[in-house]
């Protein structure tokens, strides 16, 4: 194809583009369309090229059909398809690079740490989260303009992270060049600490103050972290003033987060607070159906109802139950039915309803299993024969009670929530390849969930 | 503290410090030079905490001691003094007094005890210790350092890789991810070992030392720090921590189509043709046919142009696009009579430039799709 052609050499193209351009009002879209260069036609397909892959993707997504229709109209139906290719002329790389050279701080989805599976499309909307979903969509379409900051509030496992990631993913789909940063408050804090220690604060500040879109997950963990709050306050202000979108999630209302600086609290409350309630039964059923559909499972309605009635307050557990059930079914080679469901989820259901399980009972059980006293278990001792049972106990508390990390930490001799997080991670990791530990945990769980405990 | 020193000696020391001191620094002492007088030597040093340089200058020391003064002001002043001796003495509150001919100046200084330590290298645990002639090293740096990346997000490319090879050679490699320059020369004392990445700024300062001083240069690479001495000058520098990409994998084993021509005519033609290329990419198309290389460039906003050069080539036609700047960078550092060879394959394979009589040099340029 001849590169030297100008728009004028393709009258059909210029007519088509003109009529499409007259339909879009904003400069950005007009520029986008103008950046496409006609290359020529082949059969019923017209090819145009965009200066880079991102522009090509955007042009295809937003105006592909429009231009295609317009081309068909202006060519009297001869042209039916539009092919937008990426302009050649790119400098090739010597070394395969994980990200393009020469675009510092360009955030790819990987770097943004967004979970790609969380999108608006697969977020089940019901009465309980309708408002939060609408707010999230508005923020994704008009970042920095409508609700800033957007504060998503809701209990554990109700989809805060899902919505927050969906916003980020949607923004990146619309405009791949956007610098989206997603991270948990814990990561924010640990990055801050590392930067302080290595004397790289300038870098830290630059990194966070130059983003277009900041998503901070679980801001309730900022509680009591003065230096982190201080730094986040400045980051917040700097972004807010330059009209960059900020999205925060928390399992507490700003007012309820303890030890949060007043000025930060005010900032959190200054935008829109959208809450996500526990889903109603219809929504829970819809979630299960959607999930079954995605995984290709045949889920009878009585089983769905059983699950939806059993797991009322936590979507993650609800989804977990179906995963567990399908694993059981494929293991036994039997279809999913209500008997299998009752059997597979027996211990789980029991444990949820046996009110005997709490932090104390776990500490008692673990203590007696390892022949150490409860006092020792929650002492400051860090010898291995104490710390190992302690980690196991923390892990069990997390798995079998509704207690949060900070609460568990407090009940284990006033430890930090990060200690608990670490402990659960250690155990989870070891569980994968340590059969002895698995056995220990199984025994302890059996003991804890047995009716006569 | 008081000493007198010839203008040229003092200037030589201050000159080397100019590149090191930062213009804008948050630590005031880093914009100063430290002058230490003892015995018959005045040692002049500067550091930016990444690189430290010091030169032992011959002087007449009346009273030993140390002072500091603004590196830039002192240099500007000394440069304008008439030839002859200059005397410098320390006064109260860190002031210094400078006298030359009939001129008398007082400059503010800072407490010399605040002057930071230079990055240090201990000779034990040295990964590489070589003595290399200035001509050889200048040439090696000249042929490579232009390819250093200035993209700050790719830290490990912001310097040159220096390493010893199995057969007792010293190898220097620089790349920005689009082109790579590599030169290897037999150097006594070089032995196989992990390489070190010397940052761009230090490379520049090293080249300055190579120009302005005499004797061979000694290079010692330790853990995280390298150390260079030449005659009265010592320089130490922190190395870039990071992994230099595996350059061996990108050097093509052979290029089937080799075009021979002289550097001067290619450079001149490239400079002209690239005027009409895109400002950003500087894309120039090379069309090689028997005996002829045609360079052409087109930019819808400006115009187009082409040039033909007679070349020594008898293979089949090749068409490939390159960023003209990458070729110009190399051609600008070789003499115009130099015969060069450009090894090509097809439009997606890298071009390999070799210089006649420099069998241990190669310059690899990735093509552009035009």
Task: Give the DSSP per-residue string, A385-403.
Answer: HHHHHHHHHHHHHHHHS--
* Distances in whole angstroms, Cα of residue A355 to Cα of each of A151, A308, A350, A406: 33, 20, 9, 21
Find, among B336, B340, B337, B370, the residue nearest to B358 by Cα.
Answer: B340
Residues B136 and B168 in one domain: yes
Query: How do residues B120-154 score in pLDDT, each as one tens digit?
Result: 766 666 788 899 999 999 999 999 999 999 877 77
pLDDT for the residue numbered A5:
41
Q: At what angle do helices B134-144 and B200-212 cross, to 10 degrees?
A: 140
For residue A90, what are its two tokens? 């790119």
In a domain, B119, yes or no: no
Residues B229 and B255 in one domain: no
For residue B99, what are its two tokens? 């006298």
For residue B12, what are its two tokens? 């030589």
pLDDT for the residue numbered A6:
42
Cβ–Cβ contact B179 with A under 8 A:
yes
Q: How far is A285 from chain B (nearest CA, A)?
A: 48
Interface probe for B, chosen from A94, A105, A107 (most Cβ of B below 10 Å), is A94
Residues B234 and B277 in one domain: no
Give the SS3 label for residue B194. coil
Residues B104 and B133 in one domain: no
Q: Do A91 and B323 touch (CB under 8 A)?
A: yes
Task: Give the Cα separation of A393 and A399 in Å (integer).
Answer: 10
- Nearest CB neighbour to A104, from listed B152, B278, B323: B152
Q: Do A104 and B153 touch (CB under 8 A)?
A: yes
Task: Give the Cα separation of B262 and B38 in Å (integer).
Answer: 55
Residues B256 and B237 in one domain: no
Question: Which chain B residues are closer than 8 Å to A52 by Cβ?
Answer: none
Query: How do residues B267-318 score in pLDDT, each as one tens digit?
Result: 999 999 999 998 778 899 999 999 999 999 998 888 999 999 999 999 999 9
Nearest-by-CA chain A residue for B349: A92
Nearest-by-CA chain B residue for A93: B178
Task: Give the Cα separation of B273 and B278 in Å (integer).
Answer: 11
Mean pLDDT of chain B: 91
Question: Which chain A residues are closer than 8 Å to B246 by Cβ?
Answer: 95
Residues 5-44 of A with CB under 8 A from B: 6
For residue A163, what are its two tokens? 């919505």
Residues B142 and B202 in one domain: yes
Cβ–Cβ contact B175 with A under 8 A:
yes
Q: Do A89 and B368 touch (CB under 8 A)?
A: yes
Residues B240 and B260 in one domain: no
Find, among A273, A207, A267, the residue nearest to A241 by Cα.
Answer: A267
Which CATH fold would you assign to the domain A281-353?
Helicase, Ruva Protein; domain 3 (1.10.8)
Q: Where are the beta strands (DSSP E) in A208-327?
A: 213-217, 245-250, 272-276
Query: What is the count of structural domains for chain B?
Result: 3
pLDDT for the residue numbered A9:
60
Q: Do B364 and A94 touch (CB under 8 A)?
A: yes
**CATH code at B22?**
3.10.150.10
| Pairing state between β B41-47 and B32-38 | antiparallel
Task: Indicate if the alpha-carbon torsion angle B16, B19, B20, B23 is positive or negative.
Answer: positive
Residues B347 and B288 in one domain: yes
Nearest-by-CA chain A residue for B285: A89
Query: How do residues B194-236 score in pLDDT, each as one tens digit?
Result: 889 999 999 999 999 999 888 899 999 988 899 999 999 999 9
Of the candidate CATH numbers 3.40.47.10, 3.40.50.300, 3.40.640.10, 3.30.565.10, the domain formed by A109-276 belongs to 3.40.50.300
For residue A302, what are its two tokens? 């009585």
Question: Which chain A residues are closer than 8 Å to B180 by Cβ?
Answer: 94
Q: Is residue A184 within 8 Å of A221, Cβ to Cβ?
A: yes
Question: Which chain B residues are closer than 8 Å to A102 by Cβ?
Answer: 151
Task: Give the Cα separation of A376 and A18 in Å (integer).
Answer: 79
Q: Do A94 and B366 touch (CB under 8 A)?
A: yes
On the CB side of A233, CA atoms within 13 Å amount to 13
Nearest-Å Rg of the Cα atoms of chain B is 25
- Which among B219, B249, B279 is the end of a domain? B249
Nearest-by-CA chain A residue for B351: A94
Q: Do B298 and A102 touch (CB under 8 A)?
A: no
Residues B257 and B243 in one domain: no
Q: Is residue A248 within 8 Å of A152, Cβ to Cβ?
A: yes
Residues B297 and B192 in one domain: no
Question: Which chain A residues are closer than 8 Å to B367 by Cβ?
Answer: 92
Q: What is the mean pLDDT of each run of 10 residues along chain A (453 residues)?
A: 48 84 75 81 82 74 83 84 73 60 37 73 85 90 85 86 89 81 85 81 82 89 86 88 90 84 87 86 87 82 85 82 83 81 72 65 88 85 88 90 85 88 90 86 82 50
In a domain, B170, yes or no: yes
Question: Which chain A residues are closer than 8 Å to B369 by Cβ?
Answer: 88-90, 92
Question: Which chain A residues are closer than 8 Å to B298 by Cβ?
Answer: 3-4
| Pairing state between β A81-86 and B196-199 | unpaired
Domain A7-86 has CATH 3.30.300.180: yes
Q: Is residue A440 within 8 Å of A369, Cβ to Cβ?
A: yes
- Nearest CB neighbour to A89, from listed B154, B175, B370: B370
Q: Is A419 exposed, middle or buried (0-12, 13-18, 19+ CB in 10 A)?
A: middle
Q: How far is B323 from chain A (nearest CA, A)?
A: 8
CB within 8 Å of B110: residues ≥ 6 apart: B28, B29, B32, B68, B94
In a domain, B222, yes or no: yes
Q: Do B366 and A90 touch (CB under 8 A)?
A: no
Angle at CA of residue A418, ends A415 and A419, nearest 5°: 50
pTM of whole model > 0.90? Answer: no
Residues B76 and B140 in one domain: no
Q: Domain range for residue B16?
A: 2-114
Q: Do B177 and A90 touch (CB under 8 A)?
A: no
Q: Is residue A168 within 8 Å of A265, Cβ to Cβ?
A: no
Task: Give the Cα separation of A19 and B70 in Å (integer).
Answer: 66
Q: Is residue B9 within 8 Å of B232, Cβ to Cβ?
A: no
pLDDT for the residue numbered B265:
95
Cβ–Cβ contact B370 with A under 8 A:
yes
Nearest-by-CA chain A residue for B368: A91
Q: How far is A4 from chain B (nearest CA, A)?
A: 7
Task: Indicate if the alpha-carbon torsion angle B248, B252, B258, B262 is positive or negative.
Answer: negative
Residues B273 and B230 in one domain: no
- Which among B62, B91, B114 is the end of a domain? B114
Angle at CA of residue A155, ends A151 and A157, nearest 5°: 110
Find, among A62, A64, A28, the residue nearest to A47 by Cα.
Answer: A64
Inform me whether the pLDDT recorded for B79 exceeds 90: yes
Task: Give the Cα separation of B307 and B286 in Å (integer).
Answer: 10
Q: Do A94 and B350 touch (CB under 8 A)?
A: yes
- Which among B206, B231, B249 is the end of a domain? B249
CB within 8 Å of B93: residues ≥ 6 apart: none
Where exactly are the structural domains of chain A?
7-86, 109-276, 281-353, 359-449
CB within 8 Å of A52: residues ≥ 6 apart: A86, A87, A90
Q: Is residue B344 within 8 Å of B366, Cβ to Cβ?
A: no
Which CATH fold would you assign to the domain A359-449?
Chromosomal Replication Initiator Protein Dnaa; Chain: A; (1.10.1750)
Interface probe for A, chosen from B156, B176, B177, B284 (most Cβ of A below 10 Å), is B177
Q: Where are the beta strands (DSSP E) in A35-159?
A: 37-42, 45-50, 81-86, 150-154
Q: How far is A373 from chain B (nearest CA, A)?
A: 49
């Amino acid at each position: 194809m001849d590169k030297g052609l100008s728009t004028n050499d393709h009258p059909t193209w210029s007519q088509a583009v003109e009529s499409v351009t007259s339909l879009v009002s904003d400069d950005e879209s007009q520029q986008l369309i103008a950046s496409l260069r006609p290359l020529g036609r082949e059969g019923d397909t017209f090819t145009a090229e965009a200066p880079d892959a991102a522009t090509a993707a955007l042009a295809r997504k937003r105006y592909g059909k429009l231009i295609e229709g317009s081309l068909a109209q202006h060519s009297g139906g001869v042209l039916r398809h539009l092919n937008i290719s990426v302009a050649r002329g790119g400098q090739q790389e010597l070394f395969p690079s994980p990200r393009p050279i020469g675009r510092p701080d360009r955030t790819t989805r990987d770097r943004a740490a967004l979970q790609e599976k969380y999108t608006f499309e697969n977020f089940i909307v019901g009465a309980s989260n309708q408002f939060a979903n609408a707010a999230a969509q508005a923020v994704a379409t008009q970042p920095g303009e409508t609700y800033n900051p957007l504060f998503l509030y809701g209990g554990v496992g109700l989809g805060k992270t899902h919505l927050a990631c969906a916003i980020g993913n949607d923004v990146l789909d619309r405009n791949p060049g956007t610098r989206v940063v997603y991270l948990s408050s814990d990561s924010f804090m640990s990055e801050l600490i590392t930067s302080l220690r290595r004397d790289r604060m300038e870098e830290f500040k630059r990194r966070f103050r130059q983003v277009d879109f900041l998503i901070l997950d679980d801001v309730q963990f900022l509680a009591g972290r003065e230096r982190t709050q201080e730094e986040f306050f400045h980051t917040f202000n700097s972004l807010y003033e330059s009209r960059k979108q900020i999205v925060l999630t928390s399992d507490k209302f700003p007012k309820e987060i303890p030890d949060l600086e007043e000025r930060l609290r005010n900032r959190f409350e200054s935008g829109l607070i959208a809450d996500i309630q526990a889903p109603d039964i219809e929504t829970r059923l819809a979630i299960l159906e959607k999930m079954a559909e995605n995984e290709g499972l045949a889920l009878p309605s009585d089983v769905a109802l059983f699950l939806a009635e059993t797991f009322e307050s936590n979507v993650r557990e609800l989804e977990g139950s179906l995963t567990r059930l399908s694993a059981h079914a494929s293991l036994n080679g039997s279809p999913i039915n209500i008997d299998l469901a009752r059997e597979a989820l027996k211990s789980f259901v029991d444990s949820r309803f046996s009110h005997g399980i709490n932090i104390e009972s776990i500490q008692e059980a673990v203590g007696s299993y390892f022949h150490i006293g409860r006092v020792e278990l929650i002492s400051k001792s860090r010898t291995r024969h104490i710390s190992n049972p302690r980690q196991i106990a923390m892990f069990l508390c997390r798995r079998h009670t509704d207690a949060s990390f900070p609460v568990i930490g407090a009940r284990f001799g006033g430890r930090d929530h990060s200690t608990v997080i670490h402990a659960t991670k250690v155990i989870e990791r070891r569980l994968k390849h340590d059969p002895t530990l698995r056995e220990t945990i199984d025994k302890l769980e059996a003991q804890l969930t047995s009716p006569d405990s | 503290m008081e000493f007198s020193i010839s203008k040229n000696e003092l200037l030589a020391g201050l000159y080397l410090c100019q590149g090191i001191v930062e213009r804008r620094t948050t630590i005031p002492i880093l914009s100063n030079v430290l002058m230490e007088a003892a015995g018959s030597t005045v040692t002049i040093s500067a550091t930016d905490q990444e690189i430290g340089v010091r030169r032992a200058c011959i002087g007449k020391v009346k009273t030993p001691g140390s002072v500091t003064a603004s590196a830039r002001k002192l240099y500007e002043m000394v440069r304008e003094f008439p030839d002859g001796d200059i005397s410098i003495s320390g006064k109260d509150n860190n002031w210094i007094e400078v006298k030359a001919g009939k001129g008398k100046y007082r400059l503010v200084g800072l407490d010399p005890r605040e002057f930071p330590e230079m990055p240090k290298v201990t000779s034990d645990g040295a990964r590489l210790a070589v003595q290399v002639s200035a001509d050889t090293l200048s040439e090696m740096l000249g042929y490579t350092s232009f390819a250093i990346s200035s993209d700050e997000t790719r830290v490990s490319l912001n310097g040159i890789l220096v390493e010893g090879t199995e057969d007792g050679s010293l190898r220097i490699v620089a790349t920005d991810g689009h082109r790579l320059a590599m030169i290897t020369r037999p150097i006594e004392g070089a032995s196989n070992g992990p390489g070190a990445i010397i940052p761009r700024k230090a490379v520049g300062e090293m080249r300055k030392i190579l120009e302005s001083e005499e004797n061979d240069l000694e290079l010692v690479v330790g853990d995280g720090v390298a150390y260079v001495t030449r005659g009265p000058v010592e320089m130490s520098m922190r190395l870039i921590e990071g992994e230099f990409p595996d350059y061996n994998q990108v050097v093509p084993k052979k290029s089937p189509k080799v075009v021979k021509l002289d550097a001067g005519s290619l450079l001149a033609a490239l400079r002209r043709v690239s005027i009409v290329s895109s400002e950003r990419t500087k894309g120039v198309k090379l069309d090689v046919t028997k005996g002829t290389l045609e360079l052409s460039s087109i930019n819808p906003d400006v115009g187009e142009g082409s040039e033909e050069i007679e070349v020594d080539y008898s293979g089949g036609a090749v068409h490939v696009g390159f960023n003209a700047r990458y070729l110009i960078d190399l051609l600008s550092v070789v003499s115009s009579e130099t015969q060069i060879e450009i090894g090509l394959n097809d439009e997606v394979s890298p071009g390999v430039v070799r210089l006649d009589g420099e069998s241990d040099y190669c310059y690899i340029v990735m093509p552009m799709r035009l």
